[in-house]
């Protein structure tokens, strides 16, 4: 028995050895059995680190309707400050981006349109003129972009905007649909990244092929987006006259290295084992290469959910998701090791009995990984939890 325990400990050692984790903190100050916090957003941008200050955004219904909140914690503080409510009307899917020096820009859907605001301070700006949702942000060299899914006739289409920031005041400098033509089916869940050369890449879910396909376009010249291409290397088409193709959803993006872009999404090409986590890389050519499965074989026969990717200019790249391979949902991560993704590692404080799910994450300027997730407890209510990890 002792030998078996030692063997298990030895096998588990690399997982714990890879990262040194802080003690987890609770982010949301109000919990309850009928309060439901959510970390869902386009590109899963629920946490950012600005000059050492951590900012976390989420939505919950504590006030009787869904509202969006931001909580912050300085590097030296032991706990998060009580959260600030961002919205006044029904609010969903907030995102946050670091502006530096402890400042953030948050964006969200409120009353059916998308909005943004610099925090702390700043006034709320309505980004979309018409019905829109699923807003996301990207920043490079003081240039700020937003993308969202906007109603255009019967369907939504993807719009990318360049925002101007003067002091704490935001304004929309330009807003442009990725395609000028009206959409022929639903588009949604955009993710944005700005590469080292300043080109903007946008991915999104697209149903023009009668099933959900992550599509990609980039804007190399600051003016026009390229015609959409598939992010996935799977073709559409029926099987024996049935269906239109396998599903793939919720693409996420990150700038990576000096010129690269990395994408991660949920993919059902192996339709008997649920969604798997897949990745693709654009090394600077502005074309994504072959698709790579992220999770290891231990997660192969299990559905993965809530996947995202975070990277930095130094070339670090980490994918995170949740799955229930150990019986209940836990948060897992895998790091890019140059030619493949490494072994799946459990986030220590986001594993074990109960449900830990819905990760959001970011890498800070020093390469530390900041992870936020939901820790579900039906009786006490869900907690939003945070932990920081440094590479050993």
Partner 1 sequence: MKLIKMALAAGCMLAGTVLADPPTGYPFVDFDAGLKAARASGKPIFVYFGRYGCAWCDHTNKKTFSDAGLKKRYSENYALVYVDAESGKRLTLPSGERITEAELGARLQAFATPLFVYMTPQGDKIMQVPGFKTVQDFEDYDRYVRGGHYKQKTLLEFLGGKS
Residues of this chain that interact with partner 1 (CB under 8 A) are: 34, 36, 38, 40, 61, 66, 92, 133-134, 154-155, 185-186, 188-189, 205, 207, 209-212, 236, 238-240, 242-247, 249-250, 268, 271-274, 302-303, 305-306, 324, 357
Count CB-CB contacts under 10 A for residue 88.
Answer: 12
What is the rounded distance in angstroms from the CA atom of residue 151 to the CA atom of residue 157?
Answer: 6
Q: Is the CB of 162 or the CB of 207 nearer to partner 1?
A: 207
Our CA angle for 189, 214, 222, nearest 5°, is 75
Q: Is the CB of 39 or the CB of 309 nearer to partner 1?
A: 39
Q: Which residue has the tokens 């609010």?
A: 91
Q: Is the CB of 88 or the CB of 391 nearer to partner 1?
A: 88
Burial of 297 (0-12, 13-18, 19+ CB in 10 A): exposed
Question: What distances in angstroms separate CA 262 from CA 58, 143, 221, 247, 310, one per listed residue?
Answer: 25, 20, 20, 20, 8
What is the rounded distance in angstroms from the CA atom of residue 69 to the CA atom of residue 82?
Answer: 10
What is the rounded distance in angstroms from the CA atom of residue 126 to the CA atom of residue 144?
Answer: 15
Instruction: Report the nearest approach of partner 1 to the CB of residue 244 (Å).
Output: 3
DSSP 7: H
Question: What distances in angstroms separate CA 88 from CA 69, 246, 354, 390, one per listed residue?
Answer: 11, 39, 33, 37
Two tokens, residue 103? 């400042």
Q: Is the CB of 62 or the CB of 115 nearer to partner 1?
A: 62
Two tokens, residue 320? 């995170």
Q: Is the CB of 265 or the CB of 336 nearer to partner 1?
A: 265
Instruction: Report the nearest approach of partner 1 to the CB of residue 68 (Å).
Output: 13
Instruction: Report the nearest approach of partner 1 to the CB of residue 390 (Å).
Output: 30
Contacts of residues 241-245 at CB distance under 8 Å and 24 or more positions apart, as own/partner, are 243/211, 244/209, 244/210, 244/211, 245/209, 245/210, 245/211, 245/213
CA 258, distance to chain mean position in Å, is 21
Q: Is 18 helix (H, G, I), strand (E, B) or coil?
A: helix
Q: Is the CB of 11 or the CB of 272 nearer to partner 1?
A: 272
Residues 6 or more apart whose Cβ sits within 8 Å of residue 392: 17, 18, 19, 20
Two tokens, residue 149? 């899914």
Instruction: Report the nearest approach of partner 1 to the CB of residue 326 (Å).
Output: 13
Instruction: Report the nearest approach of partner 1 to the CB of residue 48 (Å).
Output: 23
Instruction: Report the nearest approach of partner 1 to the CB of residue 283 (Å).
Output: 29
Instruction: Report the nearest approach of partner 1 to the CB of residue 10 (Å).
Output: 31
Instruction: Report the nearest approach of partner 1 to the CB of residue 155 (Å).
Output: 8
Q: Is the CB of 257 or the CB of 355 nearer to partner 1?
A: 355
Q: Is the CB of 151 or the CB of 226 nearer to partner 1?
A: 151
């Amino acid at each position: 028995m002792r030998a078996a325990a030692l063997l298990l400990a030895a096998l588990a050692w690399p997982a714990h050895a890879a990262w040194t984790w802080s003690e987890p903190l609770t982010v949301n100050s109000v919990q309850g059995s009928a309060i439901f916090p959510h970390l869902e957003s386009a590109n899963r941008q629920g946490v950012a680190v600005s000059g050492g200050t951590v900012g976390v955004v989420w939505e919950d219904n504590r006030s009787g309707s869904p509202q969006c909140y931001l909580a912050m914690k300085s590097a030296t503080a032991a706990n998060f400050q009580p959260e600030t409510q961002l919205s006044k009307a029904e609010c969903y899917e907030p995102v946050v981006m670091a502006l530096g020096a402890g400042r953030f820009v948050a964006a969200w859907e409120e009353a059916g349109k998308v909005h943004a605001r610099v925090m702390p301070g700043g006034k709320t700006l309505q980004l979309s003129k018409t019905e829109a949702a699923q807003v996301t942000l990207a920043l490079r060299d003081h240039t700020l972009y937003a993308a969202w899914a906007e109603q255009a006739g019967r369907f939504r289409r993807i719009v990318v905007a360049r925002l101007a920031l003067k002091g704490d005041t935001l304004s929309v400098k330009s807003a442009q649909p990725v395609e000028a033509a009206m959409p022929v089916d639903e588009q949604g869940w955009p993710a944005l990244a700005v590469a080292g050369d300043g080109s903007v890449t946008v991915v999104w879910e697209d149903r023009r092929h009668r099933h959900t396909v992550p599509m990609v376009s980039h804007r190399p010249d600051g003016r026009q987006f390229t015609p959409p291409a598939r992010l996935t290397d799977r073709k559409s088409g029926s099987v024996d006259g049935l269906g239109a193709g396998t599903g793939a959803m919720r693409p996420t993006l990150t700038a990576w290295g000096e010129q690269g872009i990395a994408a991660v999404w949920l993919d059902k090409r192996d339709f008997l084992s649920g969604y798997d986590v897949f990745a693709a890389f654009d090394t600077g050519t502005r074309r994504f290469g072959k698709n790579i499965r992220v999770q290891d074989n231990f997660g192969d026969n299990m559905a993965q959910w809530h996947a995202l990717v975070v990277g930095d200019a130094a070339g670090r790249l980490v994918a995170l998701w949740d799955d229930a391979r150990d019986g209940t949902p836990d948060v897992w991560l895998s790091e890019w090791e140059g030619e493949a993704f490494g072994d799946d590692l459990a986030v220590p404080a986001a594993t074990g009995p109960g449900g830990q799910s819905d990760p959001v994450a970011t890498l800070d300027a020093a390469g530390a990984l900041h992870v936020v997730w939901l820790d579900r407890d039906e009786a006490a209510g869900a907690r939003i939890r945070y932990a920081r990890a440094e590479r050993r």
